[in-house]
Amino acid sequence: MKKILFILLAVCVLTACKKGKSEKSIENNTDKATASIQKENEWIALFDGSSFDNWRGYLTDSIYKEWTIEENTMVFTPSDKGGKNIISKQKFTNFILSLEWKISEGGNSGIFWSVFEDEKFPEAYQTGPEIQVLDNVLHADAKVANGTHKAGSLYDMIACPDEHVKPAGEWNLCVLEINHETNQGKVSMNGTKVITFPVHGEKWDEMVKNSKFNGWEGFGQYRTGHIGLQDHSDKVWYRDIKIKEL
C-alpha cells in the first residue's frame, strides 16, 4: 500500500512540474511576442498610402494641391508656381527615416531633415540639409560638383556612388539615420550603406563651409526640425514613409 501511495505521489509531482514548465514556456513565448510587437510599433508611419494626416505644406497649415495620393503612393505633380515643399507635422531630433522614392525622367527632388520653419526662410532647403533625389542619367546636376548632386548624396557635400541607385522610373529605398548623441549620420540606398557623416560640431561646420551653403543663416544649425520633401518642378513619387525615433 505504501508503495502505491509513493508512486501516486511521484506522478502528481511530475505532472505539476510539467504543467509549471508548460505555463512558463507559454509565458516566455507571450513575452517574446509582446516584445516583437513593441519593437515593430517603434516605427511611426508618416505616410501609409491613405492620407496626408502627418504632413502639411511648408509655411502653411494645409497640403498643397500639387501633392496627391494615387494607388497608395504620394505623387507630386508640378504647377506653374514652385515652392510647394511639404513637411512633417511632427519634429524629430534623433531618428531613422525609411522611404521609397521614384523620380521622373530628367527629374529632381529631395529629402530634407531638421527643417526650421520661419517666414524669413521661404524655402525648406535654406535650413534643412538634403539627401538628393535625381535622375542621374538625364539631369545636368549629376555631372557637376564632383558627384555631390547625384541621387543618394548629401547634397553638395558627400557623393553617393552611382551603382547603388536605380534609374528614373524605378523605386529606390532610402534609409537615413541621424543621431546627435553619436554625432553620426548614415544613408543607405537599396540596402547598401553609401555614406556616413558628422551631424554637428567642427567637422560638420567645415563641410558646410566648403559647400554652396557657406554663410547661409541657419543652414544645418537646428538639431530638431521637420522632415521635408521637395518641389523641384519635376514629377516625383514617394511611398511607405516611416520613422523610428532613437
| pLDDT tens digits along 172-218 | 999 999 999 999 999 999 999 999 999 999 999 999 999 999 999 99
Q: What is the CATH number of the domain that holds 205?
A: 2.60.120.560
The cell numbers describing 12, all together, are 502528481
Quick: pLDDT tens for 98-129. 999 999 999 999 999 999 999 999 999 999 99
Instruction: Report d(CA 198, CA 69) in Å as an integer.
Output: 35
| 152/239 same-domain check | yes
At 71-99, the pLDDT tens digits run 999 999 999 999 999 999 999 999 999 99
Q: pTM of the prediction? A: 0.84
Domain co-membership, 36 together with 63: no
pLDDT confidence of residue 40: 52
- Alpha helices, H only, the chain: 2-40, 201-209
Range of the domain at 23: 1-41
pLDDT band at 137 (very low <50, low <70, confident <90, very high): very high
Same domain, 25 and 107: no
Q: Are residues 84 and 23 in the same domain?
A: no
* Residue 2: predicted pLDDT: 46
Whether residues 81 and 16 fall in one domain: no
> Is residue 34 located within the same domain as residue 53?
no
Q: What is the mean pLDDT of the chain?
A: 89
Both 213 and 123 in one domain: the answer is yes
- Taking a C-beta distance cutoff of 8 angstroms, is the pair 215, 109 a contact? no
My answer on whether 66 and 22 are in the same domain is: no
Are residue 118 and residue 140 in the same domain, yes or no? yes
Q: Is 38 exposed, middle or buried (0-12, 13-18, 19+ CB in 10 A)?
A: exposed
Structural domain total, the chain: 2
- Same domain membership, residue 189 and residue 136: yes
Angle at 98 between CA 172 and CA 110, to 5 degrees: 60
pLDDT at 12 exceeding the cut of 50: no
Q: What is the mean pLDDT of residues 163-168?
A: 98
